[in-house]
Amino acid sequence: MLLIPCPYCGERDENEFHYGGEAHIARPENAWTMIDADWADYLFMRANPKGKHYERWLHRHGCGRWFNALRDTVSHEVIATYAIGDAKPAAKR
């Protein structure tokens, strides 16, 4: 069971949350000029790193707000959580 610190509510059990996948994927602004390969990259290709991962979570059974987290995909350690729109925290320890 992960213990995830919601930036708004504090530490809560994992099953209060819903996972939202990779964070910081911005919708392209040049949609009209993009080729299919660019769309494939935006829609489907993912970093999927072994190690530090920037990802989105929803505190579904809590405050109901989305936020971002930096988590290690090997140790499962939640290194940082931060509000949507905040800058990425550094990935190094």
User: Which residues contact other proteins by CB under 8 A?
Assistant: 1-2, 14-15, 18-19, 21-22, 36-37, 39-41, 43-50, 53, 55, 71, 73-76
Q: What are phi and psi of 46, to 5 degrees?
A: -130, 155
Q: How far is the CB of 4 from other proteins (least distance, A)?
A: 10
Cβ nearer to other proteins, comparing 5 with 41: 41
Sign of torsion, CA 67 56 10 71? negative
Tokens linked to 52: 């530090």
Cβ nearer to other proteins, comparing 7 with 78: 78
Q: How far is the CB of 9 from other proteins (least distance, A)?
A: 19
Q: Which amino acid, residue 19?
A: Y
Tokens linked to 44: 């489907």
Give the whole-angstrom CA distance, residue 9 versus residue 4.
10
Q: How far is the CB of 7 from other proteins (least distance, A)?
A: 17
